[in-house]
Amino acid sequence: MPVEAFLFDKDGTLFEFAATWNGWAAEVLAELSQGDASRLQAMAEVISYDLEKRAFNPDSLVIASSNGEVAAALVPHVDHMDQEELERYLAESAATAELCEAVPLAALLDSLLARGKVLGVMTNDAESSAVSQLKTAGVLDRFAFVAGFDSGHGAKPDPDPLLAFSKSAGLSPEQVAMVGDSCHDLEAGAAAGMLRIGVLTGMALESELAPHADVVLPDIGHLPAWLDR
C-alpha cells in the first residue's frame, strides 16, 4: 500500500539530536546544580551525560523519554523545585533551545506536500515545546498534526498517539510511515501497524535500528528518493 502520510519524531529526526541538545543540556544542568559540583555530577550520571565531552551518551534516557520521565530522574538532586515545576522548567527551556535542522526542513516538507502527503509530528517532548520549535524553524504550518507526550494520546512506544494521527488524517495505519531515530519510534510504529523508517541523525546506530525498521536512511532528506525507488 502506498505511503500517503509521514509522522515524524522531532529530536534526532527533524532536528539533529547532538547538535541541538548537547550544549543545551550543559546549560540546564549547570543552572539546576546552582554551583554544587557534586549535585551536577549526580544529575549528569542519572541522565547519562558526559560533562567533560558536553555530550549525551548513547544510552541516555533523555533521548527517547518524556520531560516527565527526565524530571522524575533529576528531581532527587534538585532541592528548589518539585517534580511538576522541574518538568515545566524543562519544557520551557527546551522551547527556546537553538535548533539544528537535520536537513533544510522547509524545502523537504514542501516537496512532500507537493506530492500530496499528509505530515505530522509526534514527540515525547511537550507539545508546547514542539509547537514553539517548529514555529521558530518556520515550518509549523506544514504539519496537520503536532502532538507531545502531554497531548492526551500517550507517549511512544505506545501506538495510541500514532493511531491518533492516522485517524486525524483519515488514513489507515498501513498508509502511514513513522519516521524516527530511536527504537521507541520504530517500536511504536510496529505496534500501530505502520511502515517504519529509521534515520541516523539521532544517537542510535544503523545496527540498532535495522532490526526494528523497514528501511534505515541517513536522514529525512532521502525520503523523496526513497518514494521514487
From first to last of its 229 residues, the chain has per-residue pLDDT tens of: 799 999 999 999 999 999 999 999 999 999 999 999 999 999 999 999 999 999 999 999 998 888 889 999 999 999 999 999 999 999 899 888 889 999 999 999 999 999 999 999 999 998 999 999 999 999 999 999 999 999 999 999 999 999 999 999 999 999 999 999 999 999 999 999 999 999 999 999 999 999 999 999 999 999 999 999 8
Note whether 130 and 172 are same-domain residues.
Answer: yes
Q: Which neighbouring-strand residues pair with 1? A: none
Across the chain, the runs of DSSP E, i.e. the strands, are 5-8, 49-50, 55-56, 118-122, 145-147, 176-180, 195-199, 215-217
Note whether 57 and 24 are same-domain residues.
Answer: yes
Note whether 217 and 140 are same-domain residues.
Answer: yes
Supply the CATH number for residue 173's domain.
3.40.50.1000
What pTM was estimated for this model as a whole?
A: 0.90
Strands 49-50 and 55-56 come out as: antiparallel
d(CA 218, CA 103): 11
Query: Of all helices (H) and strands (E), which one includes residue 97?
Result: none
Note whether 52 and 161 are same-domain residues.
Answer: no
- Nearest Cα residue to 130 out of 5, 4, 18, 20: 20
